[in-house]
Amino acid sequence: MNAFDHWALSGAVFIPILGAVLLAFVPKRLEVEIKAVALLTTVVTAGVGVYLLAHFDYDKTHQLQYAVDRSWIDVISSRYHIGLDGISLPMLALSMFISVLCIVYSWDHFPEPHNPKAFLILLLVLETGMNGTFVAQDLILFFVFFELVLLPMYFMIGVWGGPNRQYASIKFFLVTLFGSALMILSFLALYFKVTLPDGSHTFDIVKLASVHGAGIAHGAQLLIFGGLFIGFAIKVPMFPFHTWLPDAHTEAPTVGSVILAAILLKLGTYGFIRIAIPILPEAAKSWAPWIGVLAVIGIIYGALGCLAQRDMKRLIAFSSIAHMGFVMLGISTLTTYGINAAIFGMVAHGLITGMLFFLAGSIQERFHTRELDRLGGLLLQAPRMGWILGFCAMASLGLPGLAGFWGEFPAILSTYSPAVGLNLALFRTFMVIASIGTVLAAGYLLWMLQRVAFGTVKAEFEHEHIHDMHGPEYLAWTPILVLIVLLGVVPGIVFRVTDKPVQKVTVAHVEQRRSVVTGQTAVGQP
Amino acid sequence: MPLELPRVEWATILPETILVVGAMLILLGGALLRRRLPAWVWTVASIIIAAGAMVSAWDLWRRVSHNHQGGAHTAIANAVVVDGFSVYFALLTCGAVILAALMADSYLRRERLNAPEFHVLMLLSASGALLMAAANDLIVIFLGLEVLSIALYVLAGFAQRRAVSREAAMKYFVLGAFSSAIFLYGVALAYGATGSTNLGEIAAFLRASVSTHAVLLGAFAFLIVGLGFKIAAVPFHMWTPDVYQGSPTPVTGFMAAVAKAAGFAALLRIFFSTFGTHRLDWQPLIWALAVLSILVGSVLAVVQTDVKRMLAYSSISHAGYILIGLQAATVRGLAGSLFYLLAYTFMVLGSFGIVTLVARDGDARTGLDAYRGLGQRRPGLALVFTVLLLAQAGVPLTSGFLAKFYVISAAVEAHSYALAIIAMLAAVIAAFFYLRVIVVMYMAGDEADTADADPIRVPFGAGLSLAVSVVATVIIGTILAGPAFDFARHASILRL
């Protein structure tokens, strides 16, 4: 490993925050320079990302690459351990990619009260938090990055948000903090309860995962998993912890909503795949049916919620709850198949829903409203935006050939044969309910499309000049749209990367299956 | 029979001596030269004295931690002890004196108060705190407690022209005297139960006898009540909001940092090391105190509309978190409490420093409304306050997070799961009221009193004090976390 490889991953995490520090010293009035510095920072970060992707060994996706493991706070045995494997890779790439596009998109329309300097500083800090969470291999490091994400988003919603921003931002912060509080307790319990073969205690995720929670009584495992579950489920968000999401999304500025949908929600599901399931496989098995139940409730509830919305952004927010339900359903099967589907679903949802929020923001900017009752005839006034909305609605409802399909369909399919030891009938029931969910998804998305894009222009906007897409929008949206098609046609580019590390996540369950199978043959032999 | 006087090893009580002698010199100088010298001279003198005490404490620290020339030892007929613990508190207290003196400088001129006496009282009070941390005898602890408290009673009423200040002094005095009496009663019971007031002898006695006498239990209870007043733990917190709100703001900061630290020094030394063998008897009491302080402090802070009063309640909840470390009664717990006190000192002094500046002439504008739009008017000040409030809320990358993390990890290690869960959930409640101040600073509309005739000024000394507080809060939470932890852990080495 050469010197650059050694520093590259840390660079990917900390370049944004260095850029933020640099920005702090640029005077406020030099707006163009501020934007240029911010854009350059994210582009350089993405450049490092491209390097990481290019030099990644795709035959060993299950191994941590570019790993750095140095002492950090010795007294609490927390180490600076980062590394990239096939599960982290797509998420890190998504995070860097979306960050660049967000700055491009907001180039010349910063929400009120303007102040691009502060806004971009927050955005860059946010990127450090997100990138860091996806590469951290130490529980405390993970927690620090996980929490670091909270603050910039809180300010973004609270300062640049809609009319009800104070309520939404505080609710977002407190609900998530509540989850984090239980999560860190679970981390501590893992530290003290898990004893490594050499007798030491650790916060290291890799080492903890390698012993599969050995030595912890089943009851304690269940409780520790419960703490992790609440922490991550709030972030996902799963029903019934979702109440912060519609408010936060509705009030957040466009870029805030995009990042929230595209990356922040994934921190929760990523936590399940990276931490909860590999470290406590036994407890995961006991919890899986409950996760599955909440996931399908989320799917149906989110869909029904969508049908009751009058605000476009709120509708997309509820659709996020439904889509993350599919992701969690895939995870709840504890199979390689289901978790691969879940990771694909995370990427696809990030792209598609992020794009929908971009559109909702642009529509609001033009019509100064997001009320579905007042919108209509977008195809007549701004045909390009109208078609893109149609395209994204199709992608979101899971049309084969677009990215959304590969997240949703395999997730449903995986519930047909969940991991050994899980109730087959129950999971097949989930399968049926989730399938109904896809029909509802088609229903609300087409309904939204119909009301926003089709029909005639409402009287109040009839004589208003509505500008179709402009430069920054072309620049920001084209890459996303291309990726949605690309991933839809060649899903293998993601699955190839995720498959091996996911096998490692589910290895505990596979081992169990083997022992069950051999046990049966042993009985059958005599 | 000739009276045998104990040998006095002056070197061991050099920090205390420097503070007391320095205070006397300022008093003398103030009486003779007040008219001729500008007020800042007294501030500088006070800082030099505190820094001198700090240097001598550092010298002791080097000796204690490197264990040459005897390491930790007792002195002056076993009345005081020099170990990592006592020196740690000496350094902490002197640091707090310097920060508070910097903050008080502009305050005293603004309020047109006499300068020298203020510094004299602060130095004397600090010497009491040092004595409490270094005491190896219950009587000496009481002595330190009184020196600390009596100076603080006067300081609380230092703004004589304001009725609230006089009221705060009165309230603090009456309840403080009351708690001192209860503490003394506890000392008497401890003497009755063990036959000595010397901590080493008490510990030796308790190691020999495992059984618990009712008189000893009474001693535990009275000592906890007496010190509970000083650290402002619920249910002995009643005076805190009024006294914190009424006292001159720099005094409030000093009181919140130093009096609490000294109270904890005594509490940790008496209970953790001396009564350590009987921990099963006192742990439930501390548990209840910790839970009540955390919950009551957090919940009542939520409903406050005065920032000074809100910070008073928040300091009550901080006392609860520090008690978690004592409740665990492990080395990790003790180190956690000490680290928490280090982080807390900077956070609380910085926070009250901001309140001092925003309160402006007459120390009156402490309501939440005074902070409306501070983000636009004084962005730097607002940023500093934001960092300090977030640190108090326990957000990562600040010292506050590591402090909470450390004490809670001690609780988990000691299997006090319920306490850990309650503490973490209360932290979420607490986050709400810290955030509310931030919301008001950044997110309120522009109806702020922008055309204010009395703008917020940041004098050099106050600015320096704030800068040190905020920088310490951030670097202890990030790059210096390791050394700071080591510092606290070294200090947890106690000698009986």
Tell me which residue of A232, A11, A26, A259 sits closest to A126, measured CA to CA: A259
Assign A455 a pLDDT band (cuts: 50, 70, 90): confident
- For residue A520, the model assigns a pLDDT of 43
Q: Are A320 and A245 in contact (CB under 8 A)?
A: yes
- For residue A521, the model assigns a pLDDT of 41
Query: For residues A240 and A242, what is the distance between their CA atoms, to the nearest angstrom?
Result: 6
- For residue A526, the model assigns a pLDDT of 34
- Put simply, the answer to whether A177 touches B406 (Cβ < 8 Å) is no
Query: For residues A129 and A143, what is the distance between their CA atoms, to the nearest angstrom?
Result: 10
Query: For residues A462 and A392, what is the distance between their CA atoms, to the nearest angstrom?
Result: 25
Q: Name chain B contacts of A188, Cβ cutoff 8 Å.
A: 408-409, 412, 420
- Measuring CA to CA, how many Å separate A333 from each of A329, B209, B387? 7, 59, 43
- Measuring CA to CA, how many Å separate B339 from each of A378, B229, B405? 60, 22, 10
- For residue B67, the model assigns a pLDDT of 60
- The nearest CA of chain A is from the CA of B490 a distance in Å of 12
The token pair that represents B364 in the structure block: 């009156």
Q: Are A393 and A448 in contact (CB under 8 A)?
A: yes
Which residue is associated with the tokens 């997100």? A130
Task: Using DSSP bridges, classify how beta strands A78-84 and B80-82 pair: parallel, antiparallel or unpaired.
Answer: unpaired
Spell out the residues 6+ positions from residue B384 whose beta carbon is closer than 8 angstroms to its own: B350, B354, B466, B467, B469, B470
Q: Name chain B contacts of A158, Cβ cutoff 8 Å.
A: 439, 442-443
Buried b (16+ CB within 10 A) or exposed e, A176-193: bbbbbbbbbbbbbbbbeb
Query: For residues B399 and B342, what is the distance between their CA atoms, to the nearest angstrom?
Result: 9
Q: Are A48 and A78 in contact (CB under 8 A)?
A: no
Q: Are A133 and A142 in contact (CB under 8 A)?
A: yes
Taking 3-state DSSP, the helix, strand and coil percentages for chain A, each rounded to the nearest 5, stand at 75, 5, 20
Query: For residues A385 and A249, what is the distance between their CA atoms, to the nearest angstrom?
Result: 21
- For residue A519, the model assigns a pLDDT of 43
Query: For residues B226 and B183, what is the distance between their CA atoms, to the nearest angstrom?
Result: 4
Query: For residues A413 and B479, what is the distance between their CA atoms, to the nearest angstrom?
Result: 48
Q: Which one of B383, B409, B436 makes the best mutation probe of the A interface by having the most chain A beta carbons within 10 Å?
A: B409
Predicted ipTM of the assembly: 0.85
Q: How many CB atoms lie within 10 A of CB B403?
A: 31
Q: What is the pLDDT of residues A388-406, one digit of tens each?
A: 999 999 999 888 889 989 9
Query: For residues A414 and A397, what is the distance between their CA atoms, to the nearest angstrom?
Result: 19
CA gyration radius, chain A? 23
Query: For residues A300 and A434, what is the distance between their CA atoms, to the nearest angstrom?
Result: 8
* Inter-residue long-range contacts of A125-129, CB under 8 Å, 24+ positions, other chains counted: A125/A16, A125/A17, A125/A20, A125/A151, A125/A152, A126/A99, A126/A152, A126/A153, A126/A156, A126/A259, A127/A16, A127/A42, A127/A45, A127/A95, A127/A96, A127/A99, A128/A13, A128/A14, A128/A16, A128/A17, A128/A20
Assign A212 a pLDDT band (cuts: 50, 70, 90): confident
Spell out the residues 6+ positions from residue B112 whose beta carbon is closer than 8 angstroms to its own: none
* A517 has a pLDDT exceeding 50: no
Q: Which one of B404, B412, B419, B434 makes the best mutation probe of the A interface by having the most chain A beta carbons within 10 Å?
A: B412
Q: What is the pLDDT of residues A327-368, one digit of tens each?
A: 999 999 999 999 999 999 999 999 999 999 999 988 888 888
Helix axes B399-413, B331-359, angle to 10 degrees: 150
Query: For residues B382 and B438, what is the distance between their CA atoms, to the nearest angstrom?
Result: 8
Q: Are A132 and A148 in contact (CB under 8 A)?
A: yes
Percent of chain A with pLDDT over 70: 96
- Put simply, the answer to whether B442 touches A158 (Cβ < 8 Å) is yes
Query: For residues B4 and A100, what is the distance between their CA atoms, to the nearest angstrom?
Result: 80
Query: For residues A128 and B140, what is the distance between their CA atoms, to the nearest angstrom?
Result: 52
Spell out the residues 6+ positions from residue A337 whose beta carbon is closer than 8 angstroms to its own: A410, A413, A414
Summarize the confidence of residues A5-23 as an average pLDDT.
Answer: 89
The token pair that represents B199 in the structure block: 């901590």
Summarize the confidence of residues A73-98 as an average pLDDT.
Answer: 88
Which residue is associated with the tokens 């290019």? A54
Q: Name chain B contacts of A73, Cβ cutoff 8 Å.
A: 402, 481-482, 485
Summarize the confidence of residues A461-479 as an average pLDDT.
Answer: 82
Q: Are A405 and A399 in contact (CB under 8 A)?
A: yes
Shortest CA distance from A76: residue in chain B = B406
User: To 10 degrees, the CA torsion angle through A454, A458, A464, A469?
Assistant: -20
Query: For residues B398 and B392, what is the distance between their CA atoms, to the nearest angstrom?
Result: 9
Which tops the pLDDT comparison, A28 or A36? A36
Assign A297 a pLDDT band (cuts: 50, 70, 90): very high
Distance of alpha carbon A236 from the chain centroid: 7
- The nearest CA of chain A is from the CA of B482 a distance in Å of 5
- For residue B369, the model assigns a pLDDT of 85
Q: Are A248 and A171 in contact (CB under 8 A)?
A: yes
Q: Name chain A contacts of B431, Cβ cutoff 8 Å.
A: 173-174, 177
Q: What is the pLDDT of residues A47-82, one digit of tens each?
A: 999 999 988 888 888 888 888 888 887 777 888 899
Spell out the residues 6+ positions from residue B192 whose beta carbon is closer than 8 angstroms to its own: B215, B219
Q: Name chain A contacts of B421, Cβ cutoff 8 Å.
A: 182, 185
- For residue A518, the model assigns a pLDDT of 45
Tell me which residue of B87, B241, B89, B244 sits closest to B152, measured CA to CA: B244
Spell out the residues 6+ positions from residue A172 whose beta carbon is closer than 8 angstroms to its own: A153, A154, A157, A244, A247, A248
Which residue is associated with the tokens 């000490």? B338
Q: Name chain A contacts of B427, Cβ cutoff 8 Å.
A: 177, 181
Tell me which residue of A426, A396, A391, A394 sits closest to A408, measured CA to CA: A396
The chain-wide mean pLDDT, for chain A, equals: 87
Q: Which one of B439, B440, B476, B490 makes the best mutation probe of the A interface by having the most chain A beta carbons within 10 Å?
A: B439
Query: Residues of B at the A interface (Cβ-Cβ below 8 Å)?
Result: 335, 390, 395-397, 401-402, 405-406, 408-409, 412-413, 417, 420-421, 424-425, 427-428, 431-432, 435-436, 439, 442-443, 481-482, 485-486, 489
- Put simply, the answer to whether A185 touches B420 (Cβ < 8 Å) is yes
Amino acid letter, B1:
M
Query: For residues A283 and A334, what is the distance between their CA atoms, to the nearest angstrom?
Result: 12
Tell me which residue of A50, A23, A24, A18 sits closest to A35, measured CA to CA: A23
The token pair that represents A407 in the structure block: 């997240």
Summarize the confidence of residues A442-461 as an average pLDDT.
Answer: 85
- Put simply, the answer to whether A177 touches B427 (Cβ < 8 Å) is yes
Assign A512 a pLDDT band (cuts: 50, 70, 90): low
State the Cα angle at B58 between B56 and B61, rounded to 5°.
Answer: 115
Which stretches of chain B drop beneath a pLDDT of 50?
69, 451
| DSSP letter (8 states) at residue A424 | H
Q: What is the pLDDT of residues A113-168, one digit of tens each?
A: 778 888 899 999 999 999 999 999 999 999 999 988 988 999 899 888 888 888 89
Tell me which residue of B264, B262, B417 sits closest to B328, measured CA to CA: B417
- The nearest CA of chain A is from the CA of B485 a distance in Å of 7
Query: For residues A65 and A382, what is the distance between their CA atoms, to the nearest angstrom?
Result: 46
B395: left (phi over 0), alpha (psi -120 to 50) or beta: beta
The token pair that represents A511 in the structure block: 């081992």
- Put simply, the answer to whether B396 touches A148 (Cβ < 8 Å) is yes
Tell me which residue of B119, B183, B111 sits closest to B145, measured CA to CA: B183
Task: Using DSSP bridges, classify how beta strands A65-73 and A78-84 pair: parallel, antiparallel or unpaired.
Answer: antiparallel
* A383 has a pLDDT exceeding 70: yes
Q: Which residue(s) pair with A70 in the sheet?
A: A80
Q: Are A299 and A329 in contact (CB under 8 A)?
A: yes
Tell me which residue of A360, A185, A153, A364 sits closest to A264, measured CA to CA: A153
